[in-house]
């Protein structure tokens, strides 16, 4: 059975280990390399690169050494637009293009052919001003794909996200597409989130009320009204806000329509349970769509349980997540070719 | 995100500078990635329950000392995520013992969320006071 789906991970998965100095930059790369041969390596640029947005020659040398030594494959460069860097105003188009161009040129030097773009431009009235359009000449020059991230609380189906999707479809460039973060397609709030707030002493009945309310797919104003109605203090407000921010209500079916523009996938996950299954994201449906659409690209496992759990277990979690994805991919491939797995 | 690491010192130094005395301790950037100093626009700090005025608080990073309330002007200075900074507090009052309790809350903007989302990080720590002759 062959698949065009490749697995990797992002340095974001190792936030805790890196921030606490348990892992240095190189030992983080080594750890990622030990997951499997030809493991995909996605870096968060302002996490890893001291000279961000520039990629220094020293970083390039260290990065290339690690890629070679630990048998890694550069999968996606974690670019940031940082439009709000200057207080009180967005970067001008010229400033934003220059800030991005520096990163994209650096990404190319590191051997990346794709950059994830963290960028929100929903309120632009003239889409010619969209950063991805402004960067198109640079992308063509560098032969680098730019993959705009769709991330919870935004979902594919939202009106504002659809405006961007329509524009990217209209642009019809092999260099501009999307990174879909699977956290925008969840079927429940991860128990690790729930457990954290219980441990912090929030009344179990209130936790249940907040989680049940999340399942009603509230809008932000509805959520705010519920927070006010509960009147449970800052921890309850934080729980409600986090359920809304981290656990998107998008439906995997919406993914199928944008597959021609999906360049990269963030395999967001919060915890792999004791049965080896992801505890919140609608992966069986998502993987089915990726396989049946002949997705040819990376899934970067992106562990985010560390937001609530501080057990520094990212390696085991990413390993388990990739085993889970392999199983789903095999099942979907078997189903696609009409040979059910036994 | 990394509230527990915000205060990165076990000790607090107390040193004279001119007519004033300063308390100093190390802090970490409580976020997964590096940020520009312009993202840090508010701080709340108490020493033994006594709230310190923001104009008496300074941040020292890479050899330069900034008044905290001026940080928003420094949108080209990147605070790399692994590097501790030093927080300096002008504090002329006497402290009753050789230990004091610091409660620190840092407010910052997420630059890629434009001007929408903010983060708040809080940490409380009891620090041993160490007197030094100069900063």
> A148-157, pLDDT tens digit by residue?
999 999 999 9
Instruction: Pick the residue from chain A with its C-alpha nearest to B35.
Output: A46
CA distances from A13 to A68, A82, A100, A147 (A): 21, 21, 24, 19
Are the Cβ atoms of A90 and B35 closer than 8 angstroms? no
| HEC string for chain B | CCHHHCECCCEEEEEEECCEEEEEEEECCCCCCCEEHHHEEEEEEEECCEECCHHHEEEEECCEEEEHHHHHHCCCCEECCCCCEEEEEECCCCCCCCEEEEEEEEEEECHHHCCCCEEEEEEEEEEEEEECCCC
- Secondary element (H or E) of residue A33: helix A25-33
- Supply the DSSP symbol for A4: S
- Residue A330 to residue A131: CA distance in whole angstroms: 38
Q: A20-24, A81-85, A337-341, B122-126 — which is least confidently predicted? A: A337-341
Tokens 């944008």, residue located: A258
Exposed (0-12), middle (13-18) or buried (19+): which is B17, by Cβ within 10 Å?
exposed
- Residue A127 to residue A276: CA distance in whole angstroms: 44
Are the Cβ atoms of A19 and B35 closer than 8 angstroms? no
Are the Cβ atoms of B111 and A118 closer than 8 angstroms? no
- Residue B90 to residue A284: CA distance in whole angstroms: 58
- Chain B contacts of A85, Cβ < 8 Å? 36, 38-39, 75, 111
Kindly report, residue by residue over A39-67, the tens digit of the pLDDT: 999 999 999 999 999 999 999 999 999 99
Instruction: Pick the residue from chain B with its C-alpha nearest to A241.
Output: B117
The mean pLDDT of chain A is: 94
Q: Which CATH number fits domain B3-131: 2.60.40, 1.10.600, 3.30.1490, 2.70.40?
A: 2.60.40
Kindly report, residue by residue over A289-328, the tens digit of the pLDDT: 999 999 999 999 999 999 998 887 899 999 999 999 999 9
- Looking at the predicted structure, is the pLDDT value of residue A1 above 60? no
Exposed (0-12), middle (13-18) or buried (19+): which is A168, by Cβ within 10 Å?
buried
- Residue A289 to residue B42: CA distance in whole angstroms: 45
Are the Cβ atoms of B81 and A85 closer than 8 angstroms? no
Q: What are phi and psi of A89, to 5 degrees?
A: -155, 160
Q: How many other CB atoms are there within 10 angstroms of residue A202's CB atom?
A: 19
- Chain B contacts of A88, Cβ < 8 Å? 115
Taking the Cβ of residue B10 and every Cβ of chain A, the question of whether any pair is shorter than 8 Å is answered with no
- Residue A43 to residue A17: CA distance in whole angstroms: 15
Domain residue extents for chain B: 3-131
Taking the Cβ of residue A52 and every Cβ of chain B, the question of whether any pair is shorter than 8 Å is answered with yes
Of B2, B78, B112, the CB nearest to A118: B112
Kindly report, residue by residue over B86-97, the tens digit of the pLDDT: 999 998 787 777
> Per-residue confidence at A126, pLDDT binned at 50, 70, 90?
confident
Taking the Cβ of residue A82 and every Cβ of chain B, the question of whether any pair is shorter than 8 Å is answered with yes
Best-predicted range by mean pLDDT among A139-148, B6-15, B109-118? A139-148
Q: What are phi and psi of A56, to 5 degrees?
A: -75, 160
pLDDT of residue A342: 45
Taking the Cβ of residue A15 and every Cβ of chain B, the question of whether any pair is shorter than 8 Å is answered with yes
Residue B99 Cα, gap to closest chain A Cα (Å): 25
% of chain A at pLDDT higher than 90: 86
Which among A26, A46, A160, A181 is the top mutation candidate for probing chain B, defined by the most B β-carbons within 10 Å of its own β-carbon? Answer: A46
């Amino acid at each position: 059975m062959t698949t065009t789906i490749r697995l990797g991970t992002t340095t974001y998965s190792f936030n805790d280990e890196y921030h606490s100095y348990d892992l240095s930059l190189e030992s983080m790369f080594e750890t990622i390399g030990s997951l499997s041969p030809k493991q995909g390596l996605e870096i968060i640029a302002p996490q890893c690169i001291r000279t961000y947005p520039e990629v220094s020659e020293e970083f390039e040398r260290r990065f290339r050494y690690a890629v070679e030594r630990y048998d890694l494959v550069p999968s996606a460069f974690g670019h940031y637009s940082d439009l709000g860097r200057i207080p009180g105003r967005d970067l001008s188009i010229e400033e934003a293009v220059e800030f991005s161009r520096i990163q994209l040129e650096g990404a190319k030097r590191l051997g990346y052919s794709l950059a994830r773009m963290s960028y929100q431009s929903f309120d632009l009235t003239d889409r010619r001003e969209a950063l991805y359009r402004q960067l198109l000449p640079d992308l063509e020059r560098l032969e680098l794909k730019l993959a705009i991230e769709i991330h919870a609380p935004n979902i594919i189906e939202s009106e504002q996200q659809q405006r961007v999707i329509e524009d990217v479809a209209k642009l019809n460039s092999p260099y501009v597409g999307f990174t879909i973060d699977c956290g925008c397609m969840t079927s429940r709030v991860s128990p690790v989130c729930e457990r954290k707030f219980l441990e912090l002493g929030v009344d179990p009945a209130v936790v249940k009320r907040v989680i049940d309310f999340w399942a009603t797919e509230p809008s932000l104003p509805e959520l705010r009204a519920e927070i006010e109605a509960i009147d449970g203090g800052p921890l309850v407000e934080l729980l409600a806000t986090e359920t809304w921010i981290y656990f998107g209500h998008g439906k995997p079916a919406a993914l199928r329509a944008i597959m021609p523009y999906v360049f990269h996938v963030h395999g967001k996950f919060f915890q792999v349970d004791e049965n080896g299954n992801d505890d919140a994201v609608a992966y069986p449906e998502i993987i089915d769509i990726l396989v049946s659409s002949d997705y040819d690209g990376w899934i970067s496992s992106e562990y985010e349980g560390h937001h609530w759990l501080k057990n520094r277990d990212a390696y085991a979690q990413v390993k388990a997540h990739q085993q889970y994805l392999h199983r789903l991919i095999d099942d979907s491939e078997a189903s696609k070719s009409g040979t059910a797995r036994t | 995100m990394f509230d527990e690491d915000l205060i990165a010192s076990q000790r607090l130094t107390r040193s004279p500078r001119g007519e004033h005395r300063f308390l100093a301790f190390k802090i970490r950037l409580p976020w997964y990635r590096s940020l520009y100093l312009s993202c840090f626009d508010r701080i709340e700090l108490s020493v033994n329950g006594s709230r310190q005025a923001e104009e008496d608080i300074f941040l020292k990073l890479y050899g330069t000392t900034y008044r905290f309330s001026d940080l928003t002007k420094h949108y080209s200075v990147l605070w790399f995520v692994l590097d501790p900074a030093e927080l300096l507090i002008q504090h002329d009052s006497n402290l009753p013992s050789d230990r004091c309790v610091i409660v620190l809350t840092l407010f910052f903007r997420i630059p890629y969320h434009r001007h929408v989302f903010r983060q708040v990080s809080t940490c409380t720590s009891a620090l041993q006071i160490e007197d030094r002759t100069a900063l």
